[in-house]
Structure 1
Amino acid sequence: KILSLIVSFFTSVYVTKWKEFFPLKEFRYPPSFHSRVISCASIEVLQQYLAWRQNDCHVNNQYETCLWMLIKHGKSENEPNDEQALNLMNSCAVAVLEEFEDITFAYGVSDEYSFVLKNASMFYQRQASEIVSVIVSFFTSMYVVKWKEFFPQKKLNYPPSFDGRAVCYPSSDIIRDYLAWRQVDCHINNQYNTCFWMLVKSGKSKSEAQGCLKGTQAREKNELLIQKFGIDYSKLPLMFRQGSSIFRARTEKSVASENKSSVEKVWNKVLVSHCNIIEPSFWMAHPSILNEEPPL
């Protein structure tokens, strides 16, 4: 009730104040806002969350500014998804998990990656600045080393850099909520970007494409893609729609022993999966990721 009341009032005020800020622009479609409740265990957790949101604002704005300037000058990558660039990011994240045993899970979308450490980890004595710096540094190093593997014909013209920060979540439920939000965000952004770039490629200007998509819901975007461009959004690669999850999974393999008899070798292999991490079934199948008890 609290959530619905706040969202309802915010929407009402938004509509009421529209003419105050856009006196010459017609309100063509009723807006809607989505939200959810996050329970913070302490003031410190709340402060960390708000600080992360502010940093996220900066990072996203910086990214969008760079992206549109590159587009303006005709230097953008494949739109809306560069599969090789995503595979490069995934390969770097796999290397991070192989290098640091305390990292149990990673989720990546576009040029962003989230890494989850064991809840009882003493990695670098739990010093946030040291943890972030070593992970970011190693990831960047792998990105440069692996560049030619994924782009053999393309020169790396400028040394890449990544920024990161550490957030301490008080429970595995909140970590799952965060990762679920990241996957939902992946879907929303990919669906919008797919529609946007198809409209641009069909001859519309970027502002016209934005105007066509303004106020549209998921169903309307799906209809646009299939009716105008013959694209079934549900058939697009899972990596684009659901992002990439990286984790260790128990693997068994038969190997020959010294006396030539076959023995089973068991180890934890780092896997890349484009799976649904919103539903509980994934976490029930992999309880060790968040150090949870397996279901009975």
Structure 2
Amino acid sequence: MANSKFEYVKQFEQPDQLLPNTWVVVRIDGRGFTKFSSKYQFEKPNDKRALDLMNAAARAVMTELPDITIAYGVSDEYSFVFHKTCTLFERRASKLVSTIVSTFTAYYVHLWSTYFTDSPLSPPLPSFDGRAVCYPSVQNLRDYMSWRQVDCHINNLYNTTFWALIQLGGIDATEAEKSLKGTFSADKNEILFSKFSINYNNEPEIFKKGSVVFRDYEPVEPGTHNVAHEVENLAEPATQSKSQSEKDKKRRAKAAIVVEHLDIIKDEFWDRRPWLLSNKPGKIPKEP
């Protein structure tokens, strides 16, 4: 490419490489979704259509980017996890974030009419922002995922109780907020059950636990793999031959991408799915 006197502007570009050998989480959030959800009259406290749309967009992103290991979503946010050995886009934050945000937003808009059949989109259109954060250890990564799921439970219990007071109790938002000020989880459960005969434990798992998206291989027996220990002791990313990389790529492409509503805080979820931490594709389940 020919040089020109204008090329000096490249000096203003700053490096944005993410730390090597760390887990990278790209977390996206809806921009102005409080107004957006009101505009399209999302059901309160949860709109199943909106959550299904978010999950469908996340699955599409994982299909296009096989380097994503796992994703977790709740409300209008989603976290996409890249393995510590991933070198996609040379681990440049701007590339990873912009690719995730743009791909997710494109599919969200594209799939909108599938889930909101009677509410065509109009400007301002939905959009998302994002950020990339590095986590150096498996424990850090799992603590992050646990934090998001605990947050899901806390917010959903509050919102379920808040909207029950309004929709079933006949009070306004200000009064409902006052009623819940200073309450604990047990108090909210008691309000739901004693006043409205709602057993929070019977609420749909998607509302209580959020959604986890991953490639589905045959689960293993817990305790047969100590993947976390192996990954933590990996001094640097292991190099693979070109042929092995191609084989892994094909196996990932064959694996179904599933959306589940599971407890990702307990060890069992990770122990039964060692590929999430090892980044090595598992065995494709046999079709029934």
- The question of a shared fold, defined as TM-score above 0.5 by the shorter chain, is answered with yes
- Provide the rounded CA distance (Å) in 2 between the counterparts of 1:125 and 1:76: 42
Aligned counterparts, 1:79-94, within 5 A: 79-94=44-59
- Provide the rounded CA distance (Å) in 1 between the counterparts of 2:150 and 2:122: 33
Contact 1:79–1:197 at 8 Å: present in 2 too?
yes
**SS class of match (1:104):** strand
Contact 1:67–1:76 at 8 Å: present in 2 too?
no
Distance 1:69 1:118, change over 3 A: closer
Write out per-residue CA displacement over residues 34-54 of structure 1, whole angstroms, 9 at most, x where no aligned residue: xxxxxxxxxx99xxxxxx9xx
Could you say which residue in structure 1 is the equivalent of 2:107? 142
Q: Which one-letter code corresponds to 2:274 in the other structure? A: P
- 1:268: how far off? 1.4
Q: Which one-letter code corresponds to 1:107 in the other structure? A: Y
Could you say which residue in structure 1 is the equivalent of 2:224? none
Matched, 1:116 2:81: yes
Write out per-residue CA displacement over residues 163-203 of structure 1, whole angstroms, 9 at most, x where no aligned residue: 00100110111010000010000000000000001111121
Write out per-residue CA displacement over residues 50-106 of structure 1, whole angstroms, 9 at most, x where no aligned residue: xx9xx99xx79x75xx637976xx864100000000000000001111110110100
- 1:236: how far off? 0.5
Write out per-residue CA displacement over residues 107-151 of structure 1, whole angstroms, 9 at most, x where no aligned residue: 000000000012111111100100000111000110111011111
Unaligned stretches of 5+ residues in structure 1: 1-43, 46-51, 252-264
Structure of greater relative contact order (alpha carbons < 8 Å, 6+ residues apart): 2
- 1:152: how far off? 1.3
Contact 1:119–1:290 at 8 Å: present in 2 too?
no
Could you say which residue in structure 1 is the equivalent of 2:8? none
- Provide the rounded CA distance (Å) in 2 between the counterparts of 1:198 and 1:273: 26
- Provide the rounded CA distance (Å) in 1 between the counterparts of 2:55 and 2:79: 12
Picking from 146, 163, 177, the partner of 1:197 is 163
Contact 1:200–1:206 at 8 Å: present in 2 too?
yes
- Provide the rounded CA distance (Å) in 2 between the counterparts of 1:80 and 1:231: 14
Picking from 167, 173, 177, the partner of 1:206 is 173
Could you say which residue in structure 1 is the equivalent of 2:206? 239
Number of aligned positions between the proteins: 223
RMSD value, Cα: 2.8
Structure with greater helix percent:
1
- Provide the rounded CA distance (Å) in 2 between the counterparts of 1:111 and 1:216: 25
- Provide the rounded CA distance (Å) in 1 between the counterparts of 2:40 and 2:86: 42
Could you say which residue in structure 2 is the equivalent of 1:131? 96
Could you say which residue in structure 2 is the equivalent of 1:215? 182
Could you say which residue in structure 1 is the equivalent of 2:274? 287
Aligned counterparts, 1:1-296, within 5 A: 63=32, 67=34, 76-158=41-123, 159-201=125-167, 202-250=169-217, 267-291=254-278
- Provide the rounded CA distance (Å) in 1 between the counterparts of 2:113 and 2:193: 36
- Provide the rounded CA distance (Å) in 1 between the counterparts of 2:178 and 2:270: 40
Identical aligned residues as a percent: 45
Q: Which one-letter code corresponds to 2:176 in the other structure? A: A
TM-score normalised to structure 2 length: 0.72
Q: Which one-letter code corresponds to 1:235 in the other structure? A: N
**SS class of match (2:136):** coil
Distance 1:70 1:81, change over 3 A: closer
Contact 2:83–2:279 at 8 Å: present in 1 too?
no
TM-score normalised to structure 1 length: 0.70
